[in-house]
Amino acid sequence: MRIVSGILLAVTAVALSACSGSGGGGGNSTTVANPSTTTSAGATPASTTTAGRIDCAAGYLAQFTPRQKLAQLLTVGITGATDAENAVRTEQIGGIFVGSWTDPGLLADKQIDRVKAAARTPLMVTIDEEGGRVSRLRNVIGAAPSARVAAQTVSDDEFYKQSVARGTAMKELGITVDFAPDADVSDQPDDSVIGDRSFSDDPEVVTRYAGAFIRGMHDAGLGAVMKHFPGHGSGSGDSHTGAVRTPPLDQLQQKDLVPFRNLIGSGAGVMVGHLDVPGLTTPNTPASISPQVMALLRHGDGYGAAAFDGPIFTDDLSGMAAITNRMGIEDAVAAALEAGADNALWISSTAVPQVLDRLEQEVREGRLSMRQVDQSVLRMARFKGIPLNC
Q: Is 232 a catalytic residue?
A: no
Q: Pick the catalytic residue from 190, 201, 240, 309.
A: 240
Strands (E), 5-73: none
Q: Is 55 a catalytic residue?
A: no
Q: Whose CA is closest to 231, among 215, 212, 209, 250?
A: 250
Rounded Cα–Cα distance for residues 138 and 273 (Å): 25
Burial class of residue 190, CB neighbours in 10 A (0-12, 13-18, 19+): middle
Q: Pick the catalytic residue from 315, 316, 342, 374.
A: 315
Q: In 10 A of CB 301, how many CB atoms?
A: 10
Residue 344 bridge partners (DSSP): 74
Rounded to 5°, the CA angle 239-72-363 comes to 90
Length of the chain: 390
Q: What is the dihedral of CA 202, 205, 206, 210, to 10 degrees?
A: 180
Q: Whose CA is closest to 383, among 260, 270, 231?
A: 270
Instruction: Return all residues near 296 (Cβ < 8 A) that are at least 6 apart.
Output: 230, 280, 302, 303
Residue 126 bridge partners (DSSP): 97, 177
131 backbone φψ class: left, alpha, beta (φ>0; ψ -120 to 50): left
Q: Residue 311 CA to chain centroid, in angstroms?
A: 6
Task: Kindly list the catalytic residues.
Answer: 240, 315
